[in-house]
Amino acid sequence: MRSLENQVAVVTGASRGIGRAIALSLAKSGAKVIACARNEAQLESLAAEAAESSCSGSIIARSLDVSDSAAIATFVDEVAGEHERIDILVNNAGITRDGLLMNMEDDQFDDVITTNLRSVFWMTRAVSRLMMRARKGRIVNISSISGIMGNAGQSNYAASKAAVIGFTKSVAKEYAKRGITCNAVAPGFIVTDMTSVLPDGVKSSFKDVIPMRRFGEADEIASVVTFLASPESSYLTGQVLVVDGGLHM
Ligand code: NAP
């Protein structure tokens, strides 16, 4: 599938995990992907992997801390200067700082809200100005099943991910007439660094309640994001696609 040929895509949090898989999937579909995160070495190895593989598109590594609003503004200006437009934005960067509510520190709450939510606002506001001018665009925000179901020990994270869903629907309504779609993907448990830190007991108890009895792979999120970024999803906006092996239904 090469339906994204000549499309310029920005993917945040692309150095590893789900974001890395999304960047590769978009590049395989022909997009020119600007992959951002803080870890430049991981981004460079991702760009090299795309160059060495049979990708019809390409990956360009760009260092970016999404918790820095000024850095986001500069980044979007630079990308607009170099590539003229951004057709696809995937807001994927995210962190967890889990803990029970009674013990949660202010910075534990604020850091998660800044990286997972405020960054989505800053990035989408800046990029959508370019999309408005072009009268087309695809925005995909990575939420989480925790934002839908809640999760003990994740009041900060679940709040940020639920807010991303409200944000997604509002942006979808604002831009629907302008050729810009905005959707969210809510993954369940996916095998990445984020979930590797969970104790084995927690992992197996979650597996017991997932109807498919397994965690998902990053590629299984990437394929859904690539569909949402493609012309094939042209009549789909304001939706939350839950990709969780049947956990929430
Ligand atoms: P991960 O393996 O921990 O990767 C997180 C990515 O976010 C990394 O590329 C990291 O890059 C980037 N990131 C974090 N803080 C950043 C910052 N301040 N600026 C720029 N980039 C930043 O996590 P993942 O599992 O792939 O998660 C990706 C997204 O999916 C997140 O939004 C997460 O909440 C969501 N999600 C994951 C799961 C799951 O089960 N894994 C489930 C539901 C939702 P650097 O460290 O290099 O900056």
Give the tens place of pLDDT for each residue, 180-215. Answer: 999 999 999 999 999 999 999 989 999 999 999 999
Helix or strand (DSSP H, E) at 76: helix 69-83
- In this predicted structure, the answer to whether residue 1 has a pLDDT above a threshold of 80 is no
Catalytic residue among 75, 109, 122, 157: 157
Nearest atom (ligand 1) to Cα of 191: 41
Q: Whose CA is nearest to atom 9 of ligand 1?
A: 13
Any idea of the CA torsion for 214, 246, 170, 164, to the nearest 10 degrees?
-30
What is the C-alpha separation between 245 and 241, in angstroms, rounded? 12
CA distances from 222 to 14, 29, 55 (A): 11, 11, 15
Q: How far is the CA of 42 from the centre of ligand 1 (A)?
A: 13
**Cβ atoms of residues 143 and 164 within 8 Å:** yes
Residues at CB less than 6 angstroms from ligand 1: 12-19, 37-39, 42, 64-67, 92-95, 115, 142, 144, 187, 189-190, 192-195
Give the tens place of pLDDT for each residue, 12-45. Answer: 999 999 999 999 999 999 999 999 999 999 999 9
What is the C-alpha separation between 92 and 144, in angstroms, rounded? 11
Q: Residue 54 — pLDDT band, cuts 50, 70, 90?
A: confident
Q: How far is the CA of 18 from the centre of ligand 1 (A)?
A: 7
Provide mean pLDDT across the span 133-138. 97
CA of residue 125 relative to chain centroid, distance? 15
pTM attached to this predicted model: 0.98
- In this predicted structure, the answer to whether residue 9 has a pLDDT above a threshold of 90 is yes
